[in-house]
Amino acid sequence: MQKTIQAKQATTTGTRTPELYGYARVSTKEQNEDRQLVALEPYNIPPANLFVEKKSGKDFNRPKYKRLIRKMKAGDILHLPAIDRLGRNYEEIIEEWRYLTKKKGIDIKVLNMLPLLDTTLYKDLLGTFIADLILAILSMIAQMERENTLQRQAEGIAVAKAKGVVFGRKAVDIPEDFYNIFLRWRDKELSKEQAAELCGFSIRTLYTLTAEWRNIGD
């Protein structure tokens, strides 16, 4: 079986050996990509061909992904930990899949859906049809899971707000004599450190709030 796959790849790419690539994405800087990198590890992807992006799925402007796609050539193999790495919803996933596989001639392995989503195995018409059908179903499931997650988040926030939970930054307590402190700081009777200490907040907050005072005027 392995010889058959290699022969098919050789036919597609001529004498050129396909390059192996991997792409991982997490939604925020706080999230850890280790789980996805562990999934990619057994495929011996060269470090230079491994692209990790910390970017929200809501924003498809992903510079590392775009650089990866520009670098890949026909016959190269892209390894994805999951199908939702390709886009935010059903339409984007399908569109990106077709662009990569049909326009650029790239093969894709979706690691948590092997061997169902492995285009190196499906080169005839029937195989391509089956892979596209499976892709459509799984992409729809991925979109439904995302929508359910967003709905649960919205419901959770609504319940929390109903219980009096306040979201966002904690409000700053402004002292009653803040304006007088501001005037003394403006007139250089106080240093910024002294003014901030008297007010009980940071120098950065001092600058932010005094900017608002300046807009109002004396």
> H helices within the chain, ranges in order?
2-13, 34-40, 63-71, 90-98, 125-162, 178-186, 192-199, 203-216
Three-class DSSP category at 154: helix
Preceding peptide of 81 cis, ω within 30°: no
Q: Which residues contact 210 (CB under 8 A, 6 or more apart)?
A: 182, 185, 186
**Is 171 inside a domain boundary?**
no
* pTM beyond 0.75, yes or no: no
Least confidently predicted of 7-21, 108-122, 158-172: 158-172
Q: pLDDT digit string (tens) for 143-198?
A: 676 666 667 666 666 655 665 555 555 566 677 777 778 788 877 888 888 888 88
> Quick check: 12 and 74 in contact, CB under 8 A?
yes
Q: Tell me, yes or no, whether 69 and 128 share the same domain.
A: yes
Residues 6 and 105 in one domain: yes
Active site members: 27
Residues 6+ apart with CB under 8 A from 34: none
Give the span between the Cα atoms of 102 and 82, in whole angstroms.
Answer: 20
Domain boundary, last residue among 86, 121, 145: 145
Same domain, 211 and 113: no
Sequence-distant (6+) residues with CB within 8 A of 211 are none
Residues 184 and 141 both lie in one domain: no
Are 207 and 126 members of one domain? Answer: no
Average pLDDT over every residue of 107-127: 84
**Domain for residue 157, yes or no?**
no
Higher pLDDT, 38 or 15: 38
